[in-house]
Structure 1
């Protein structure tokens, strides 16, 4: 641990926020808390105190100390635990009360400063984390934070006992104070993977408000949503549906929520990507088009396999491409990896000769987002102009929808679906396209297969006859 770490009182949780912007005491304006005053607040989690251990022109540190009420804690139906009161949902609740105005990004005295990223260092000496330092990295690094998460020993006097699941956490970076507070408000409970209060429908709104501008494009948004909402499937589905719309992505996140009650061995979105990758490897594809790439989930898997030497992701939505760029962390990738990928804004229904000559094209959960009247244009653009050696198409099997408990009867899996095909309808369309365009086609089920209703996803692998 860092020098100065002391034995923690098991009823207190500490968070500090430090800046070196000059004058550093402007942090008081951003937090709406004067550096010369120590203040106390009553919160639902206990008594919160704000004070400044350091406050001068060069360095300013604001501290939030929460005294957790051990008597009030059992109101959530839990017994009083002897574990340390480490940072989690209780600290997040206190932050929302104490720094409410700061989290909105408002700063009456320094409005221009509130909009600027400033150097910040966040310290949480006792962070509850179910997932260890690796999970902290996955959650905070995509947001631009440099992470230093050090395990706290069970007992410093007995090192042989090993480490606890608590971390001494430090984050460094440049961010707006409002954004830093929102990141912590959402992700501290996510790290803990538990909440000390009952999760109701209004938690979805809290998540979306605090996650505005960053959560939709976060590579771990599914995990974040599930943990923040205490794994309550209905709420998770609602949040992911709205985040998918903001992200410009397809229904990958929705399927993660939908398939949870089906007791599948893995989320459908993961199984689907594995099936697509298997098809590409089977035909020996090296130069691949991901047409309608959305938020970049498949692109990430393609980049992870060096066998795919050239990858092009296209989408009609500039927002989706921006989300893919964030998700992939292109600015942090090694040059030799980044050079394998190109992102382009392009419509599936317009011919683009520059896309011709590739080994394979993938349309993963894309065709159902196209108006039926525009399917001939898609066929012409993909199978006529681009004309790759192989085409992989996946789409929902509408018959399987009856097995999703969270999906009302007659409702499509995604609000942007123009249609969803039965297995017979998909084969009719794919067979006709193959016949007209000089391809052969074969079909595979993807996901857990029901004896009568088939699998949740249907896959067609087209191969050009002269390929």
Structure 2
């Protein structure tokens, strides 16, 4: 992963003083996940560019990653985008390598840190989980000019669609300390996957580096939530302090603050209804092995383990932190052997075929598809229905028509900030019937929650049964 910073205010080589790195030397720093190299492709009076190159060893990453108990290793642990993209690894490297500049210190020229410089920063690849629009929503309110070049998943197969990766150039006249602080906070927000466990210390990092700008940022809540890896209790504490400057509450708990979706649906106990409906359907269909695809924090897995009928249970999620929370929720370290042998947690993506998903009676995608970009549903379809091919697939998703009944939800707003879409009943039916036809399944639809006479049920479920061959 390559990041470059360019200064064009003469003498431009003052950038070397600010970064505390001499332009005439290559410097290498040992980090826990690899090496960081600093060098200057250009060092002239009118233009100076400093480059930070991260050399991340994927083998060391796997060795150092503390996986939850019963979490199986996969090829994706070794072959992934971490060595090549800007992520929380970059933030860590900035703190370690450019710490003096990040703190606004320059002993040789103490006046330099307060000087506004015409700066350009370029990232070879940033994963933007939210697309170019999110990238602009984060940086443009801070006064940056943003240039983003998207990249296809594979140039040889344009039908596969676009990847989430962008080459990004940001321009602004500002203090170098401000630029580094913005990058330090916002790059992990775009990526959404931190390489280390997020605890209360992250609140202090966020508030320190977000001082003077985060509280007034229009995307403050989203930045805070994503930076803290969707940890609800930590997000609540950080937002309280950003809003009011009050001391940190003492009674925070993991489940303290529900999401907007949970607040909206709490009056009708929709989450509980979904769980009961899905589990009842699995039991009725005689499923004995179940894959929970997009298992999140493991609530459905917890319910499945309580019933002896389900002899083999697998939870898959793309988020390492959710898997850690699921492992704690299931108390895997303390389960009796008879229970522990029934459950496996794996890290993986529904965009790629995975042999570990084959051979299950049933697969559940409970409130999963709406968190994906529409163009990626084709890949999910191929993975679940074309490759894994369980005999039963249950898919639940919100009914967007029902949103009109939520008095506190503004018109046109989705139930959850991370939803990419929400379908009407007709749209969901059209998608599900198309999937069934393409892959040899039959599909039926069932409402979840009390049906409104005009807007239908709050949640809709499709039950796919594989046709006998």
In the superposition, the TM-score normalised over structure 1's length comes to 0.51
**1:56 alignment counterpart:** 44
**In structure 2, the residue corresponding to 1:111 is in which secondary structure?**
coil
CA distances 1:154-173 after superposition (whole Å, capped 9, x unpaired): 22344443321111111011
Aligned ranges 1:245-264 → 2 under 5 Å: 245-246=244-245, 258-260=257-259, 263-264=262-263
Instruction: Report the equivalent of 1:178.
Output: 177
Tell me, yes or no, if structure 1 residue 82 matches structure 2 residue 79: yes
Q: How far apart, CA to CA, are the structure 2 residues paired with 1:156 and 1:34?
A: 39
* Alpha-carbon displacement from aligned partner over 1:427-463 (angstroms, at most 9, x marks no partner): xxxxxxxxxxxxxxxxxxxxxxxxxxxxxxxxxxxxx
Cα–Cα, structure 1 residues 267 and 14, in superposed 2: closer, same or farther, change >3 Å?
farther
Distance in 2 between the 1:137 and 1:246 partners? Answer: 28
Q: Aligned equivalents of 1:160 and 1:215: distance in 2?
A: 39
CA distance, structure 1, for counterparts of residue 133 and residue 185 of structure 2: 18
Q: Shift of the alpha carbon at 1:153?
A: 1.9
Matches within 5 A, 1:23-42: 23-42=11-30
Residue 217 in structure 1 maps to residue 205 in structure 2: no
Distance verdict in 2 for CA 1:19–1:257, change over 3 Å: farther
Q: What secondary structure does 2:122 align onto?
A: strand
**What CA deviation, in whole Å up to 9, does each residue of 1:16-73 have, x standing for no partner?**
1011010111000011111111000012332100000111011111000001121232
Residue 8 of structure 2 corresponds to: 20
CA distance in 1, matches of 2:142, 2:66: 32
- Aligned counterparts, 1:52-451, within 5 A: 52-74=40-62, 75-77=65-67, 80-85=77-82, 86-246=85-245, 258-260=257-259, 263-265=262-264
Task: Give 1:200 shift.
Answer: 1.4
- Distance in 2 between residues matched to 1:267 and 1:228, nearest whole Å: 26
Give the 3 Å change call, closer, same or farther, for CA 261–155 of structure 1 in structure 2. Answer: closer
Q: 2:322: which partner in 1? A: none
* Structure 2 unaligned blocks of 5 or more: 68-72, 247-254, 268-469
**Does structure 1 retain, via aligned residues, the 8 Å contact 2:128–2:166?**
yes
1:291 paired residue number: none
Partners in 1 of 2:106 and 2:227 — Cα distance? 28
Decide whether the 8 Å contact of 2:150 with 2:162 is kept in 1. Answer: yes
Any stretches of 5+ residues in structure 1 without a counterpart? 1-12, 248-255, 269-467
Structure 1 residues 110 and 257: CA distance shift in structure 2, 3 A = farther
CA separation in 2, counterparts of 1:107 and 1:26? 10
Tell me how far 1:246 sits from its aligned partner.
Answer: 4.6
DSSP 3-state at the match of 2:132: helix
Q: Deviations over 1:322-346 (max 9, x none)?
A: xxxxxxxxxxxxxxxxxxxxxxxxx
Q: Aligned equivalents of 1:267 and 1:62: distance in 2?
A: 52
Deviations 1:70-92 (A, max 9, x none): 12323142751523231111111
Give me the whole-angstrom Cα distance separating, in 1, the residues matched to 2:36 and 2:126.
17
The offset of 1:110, in angstroms, is 2.1
Instruction: Supply the distance in 2 between the matched residues of 1:266 and 1:210 (Cα, whole angstroms).
Output: 35
Shift of 1:245: 2.0
Aligned length: 248
| SS state at 1:226 partner | helix
Whole-angstrom distance in 2 between the partners of 1:90 and 1:26: 26
Runs (4 or more) in structure 1 with deviation over 4 Å come to: none
TM-score (norm 2): 0.50
- Tell me if the contact between 1:44 and 1:93 (Cα under 8 Å) persists in the aligned partners: no
Contact 1:260/1:267 (8 A) holds in 2:
no
**Aligned equivalents of 1:106 and 1:267: distance in 2?**
50
Alpha carbon RMSD of aligned pairs, Å? 2.3
**Equivalent-residue separation in structure 2 for 1:231 and 1:23 (angstroms):** 44
Q: Which has the larger radius of gyration?
A: 1
- In 2 relative to 1, CA 137–267 (structure 1 residues): closer, same or farther, beyond 3 Å? farther
